[in-house]
Amino acid sequence: MADALKIGIAGLGTVGASLVRILQDRHEMLATTCGRAIETTAVTARDRNRDRGVDLSQIKWFDDAVSLARDADIDVFVELMGGSGDPAYSAVKAALQRGIHVVTANKALLAAHGIELAKIAEEKGALLNYEAAVAGGIPVIKALRESMTGNTISRVYGIMNGTCNYILTKMEKEELSFEACLKEAQRLGYAEADPAFDIEGNDTAHKLSILTSLAFGTAIAADDIYLEGITNISIDDIHAAADLGYRIKLLGVAQRTESGIEQRVHPTMVPYDSVIAQVDGVTNAVAIESDILGELLMVGPGAGGNATASAVLGDIADIAKSRPGAQHVPAFGRPTNALLPYKRARIQSHEGGYFIRLKVVDRTGVFASIATRMADNGISLESIMQHSKHLMESGEPQTIILVTHATSEHSVRDAIKAIKSEGYLVGEPQVIRIERPKAN
């Protein structure tokens, strides 16, 4: 049997502690399946004295991640600290410059520095593996990077943030406000004390940028994504979606068009009978549409200690099974010098159409005015209706629901601007894209 693969772990939070535990508890099984033992020989974390429920007595402790990456006698550096900057960035870079393989769950780091780090890995003959960075335990990175080689991918989309999916699911099933569901998510540990990164869509955007690079062979463009979170979704939107046969999900969508690549993150209405509409709670789902394989939908746990540790362990096991001198799979599926510059797509019609909710004063001619403003901007309406769960008294503001056929974001925004100028709108309108997934 080959010499043991020596692991250094930076970060001993929920995921790091779970990884250490699994490596210790399943030592013999992993040695058999990988052809060599896997041993944790070095660790670092912010608090050396914290009880993590694992035995660290035989493992060398380093005071900081960079010194572990630079000086430890290890074969693989596992980065589980998070964050796009230091210490994660400097530590990963230091490990790769030594020719040490790196496994990370850090989507923010990859979105900001992934191409730079991948180039160093190529130059030094090291692997940069990151299955756990996107969709937790779902093996979507391996599918895109290895299993779907030869496929031309047209679209990648999915539910990539468990916090948002939990909130939207709870709003619908328990008829609670966004604020109440967010508080419950924080109480259960699904949302951070400062939840902005999740609920405003940034976390999904980082993950989407990585999938876009893998799917379309382009440089990462995390700053070139249309971004909209779920903070403006109300229980009225949830009810209206249900009445129309839809559920609301926060989706990340990347697709190839004739003019470039389109990337967007936003609340989306999906048909109730589609598979992705049935993905509830903290579960994630990623769909890939390609020419050879067709439609592939993968569903599984998107976060949590064991799910993320499992994905990290899979990356480590791949390294353990590889042999010296073997050709490494490039971090983003192709060498960094072969990645194409990212070209943003021109604004085009959204084939799924739009849901538009307007609250208006109750007066004669409003329906006609709204329809006229839509027509003036080239928008064809699939339906227009007055929507009220309870019978309202005359004179109270009324809610009008519009569902459009395929049209552009630009046309929708211009139509709403024109409607605002009429003076009968109460509050801000709600606009949600409608997606009609092929994978079902």
CATH of the domain at 163: 3.30.360.10
Q: Could you tell me if 293 and 314 lie in one domain?
A: no
Q: Could you tell me if 108 and 153 lie in one domain?
A: no
User: Is position 207 annotated as part of the catalytic site?
Assistant: yes
Give the count of domains, the chain.
Answer: 3
Q: Domain for residue 215, yes or no?
A: yes
The residue segments making up the domain with residue 376 are 354-434
Instruction: Please indicate, yes or no, whether the overall pTM of this predicted structure exceeds 0.85.
Output: yes
Q: Domain for residue 370, yes or no?
A: yes
Which ranges in 6-87 belong to alpha helices (H)? Answer: 14-25, 27-34, 65-71
Q: Could you tell me whether strands 354-360 and 430-434 are parallel, antiparallel, or unpaired per DSSP bridges? A: antiparallel
Residue 264, beta-bridge partner list: 226, 253
What per-residue confidence (pLDDT) applies to 434? 93
What per-residue confidence (pLDDT) applies to 137? 86
Q: Could you tell me if 197 and 325 lie in one domain?
A: no
DSSP for 319-349 reads HHH--TTPPPPPTTSS-GGGPBPP-BPPP--
Helix (H) or strand (E) holding 359: strand 354-360
Can you list the positions of beta strands (E) in 4-144?
5-10, 38-44, 60-61, 76-79, 101-104, 128-129
Q: Domain for residue 345, yes or no?
A: no
CATH of the domain at 129: 3.40.50.720
Q: Which residues contact 350 (CB under 8 A, 6 or more apart)?
A: 406, 407, 408, 409, 433, 434
Q: Domain for residue 334, yes or no?
A: yes
Q: Domain for residue 46, yes or no?
A: yes
Q: Could you tell me if 58 and 164 lie in one domain?
A: no
Q: Could you tell me if 100 and 225 lie in one domain?
A: no
Q: Could you tell me if 190 and 202 lie in one domain?
A: yes
- For the chain, 440 residues long, the average pLDDT of each consecutive 10-residue run is 91 94 96 95 92 90 96 97 95 98 97 97 96 93 94 96 95 94 90 91 96 96 94 94 94 93 95 94 95 93 86 96 81 95 82 90 89 94 72 70 91 94 92 76
Which two three-digit tokens encode residue 87? 């210490």
Q: Could you tell me whether strands 153-159 and 226-227 are parallel, antiparallel, or unpaired per DSSP bridges? A: unpaired
- How far apart are the C-alpha atoms of 415 and 405, rounded to whole Å? 14
What per-residue confidence (pLDDT) applies to 391? 43
Which two three-digit tokens encode residue 414? 């211009």
Q: What share of the chain is helix, strand, coil (3-state, %, to 5)?
A: 35, 25, 40
Catalytic-labelled residue, pool 207, 249, 359, 438? 207
What per-residue confidence (pLDDT) applies to 390? 47
Q: Could you tell me if 289 and 158 lie in one domain?
A: yes
Which two three-digit tokens encode residue 155? 């679209």
Residues 122, 330 contacting (CB under 8 angstroms): yes
What per-residue confidence (pLDDT) applies to 387? 62
CATH of the domain at 417: 3.30.70.260
DSSP for 238-256 reads HHHHHHHTEEEEEEEEEEE
Q: Could you tell me if 315 and 219 lie in one domain?
A: no
Cα-Cα-Cα-Cα dihedral sign, residues 88, 92, 93, 95: positive
What per-residue confidence (pLDDT) applies to 219? 95
What per-residue confidence (pLDDT) applies to 384? 86
Q: Could you tell me if 108 and 154 lie in one domain?
A: no
- How far apart are the C-alpha atoms of 308 and 22, rounded to whole Å? 12
Q: Domain for residue 349, yes or no?
A: no
Residues 168, 248 contacting (CB under 8 angstroms): yes
- How far apart are the C-alpha atoms of 62 and 68, rounded to whole Å? 6
Whose CA is closest to 286, among 141, 153, 156, 151? 156
Which two three-digit tokens encode residue 347? 């604004």
What per-residue confidence (pLDDT) applies to 437? 67
Q: Domain for residue 117, yes or no?
A: yes
What per-residue confidence (pLDDT) applies to 440? 44
Q: Could you tell me if 371 and 284 lie in one domain?
A: no
Q: Could you tell me if 226 and 292 lie in one domain?
A: yes
Q: Could you tell me if 53 and 30 lie in one domain?
A: yes
Q: Domain for residue 153, yes or no?
A: yes
